Structure 1
Amino acid sequence: MKPATAAKKLGIYLPATPEQFQAEPITREAFLALQQTPPEWLVELRLNGPHPRDEVARKLGVSISGLARAQMADEALTTAQIKELLTDPPQWLVVERATQAEVRATNARTNERNEGRRILREEQGLE
């Protein structure tokens, strides 16, 4: 597989990987070996970053769109930078976390409603 695909599956930021990882395709066996017994550089990247934007968004508790609205979509942040943002959150982060919490609450209500409707249909013999 391509290095970009492997990096995405491993949850790491490709430009921060060793040159050898970036330069050559990774076999499925090599990929499985990386997952099962990660080398020191992979452990270090996962712990301290820099992290790819989906991981940054997850750690900050916002969406990737929220990062884009804050003009941070292309920034790879380290764990220390993420902790700093969480310790003293800027206004954009407060707003985006609130937005994300709202979206999650709406999704939970929708799922609950749909589950209730499904149960009702089953009880009425419609399914």
Structure 2
Amino acid sequence: MKSHQTAQTMKPATAAKKLGVYLQATPSEFQEGVVSRAELNALQADPPEWLRELRRNGPHPRPVVAAKLGISISGLARAGVTDALTTEQVDALKTENPEWLQKERATQTEVRKETARLKEKQRTEDEA
């Protein structure tokens, strides 16, 4: 007897996260339904215009905003940035380069250096 495999589905919030878009900016039919793995793959392979537009202009979710600014999500929170931002708003922040952004970028650079140092230390310990 063969068991029938059901299609894997996910909540719209999960799909939006995987697509790197802000859920509240997606079309209502996307927000109200469920997304199958096949549908997600299709959206990634051949994004419809609404998805291309969201990725290009936003609003972007905090992880995408943080990445575009070169800082951590925690850095956004420390700066009081809790809302999704458009590409235009992110670009304006980059241009203004406020003190908090400079500080968060420096912090992120130090974190990356420390992570690389620890990784190298672990590698050399593993070889010994």
Which consecutive segments of 4 or more residues in structure 1 shift more than 4 A? none
Matched, 1:70 2:79: yes
Alignment of 1:40-51 (within 5 A): 40-51=49-60
The 3-state SS of whatever aligns with 1:97 is: helix
Superposition RMSD in Å: 0.8
Aligned residues: 119
Residue 76 of structure 1 aligns with an amino acid whose one-letter code is: A
Residue 99 of structure 2 aligns with an amino acid whose one-letter code is: Q
Alignment of 1:2-81 (within 5 A): 2-72=11-81, 74-81=82-89
Alignment of 1:77-116 (within 5 A): 77-116=85-124
User: In the aligned structure 2, how far is the partner of 1:104 from the partner of 1:36?
Assistant: 31
Q: TM-score, length-normalised on structure 1? A: 0.90
Identity of aligned residues (%): 59
Q: TM-score, length-normalised on structure 2? A: 0.90
Residue 24 of structure 2 aligns with an amino acid whose one-letter code is: P
Which ranges of structure 2 fall in alignment gaps of 5 or more residues? Answer: 1-9
Which ranges of structure 1 fall in alignment gaps of 5 or more residues? Answer: 121-127
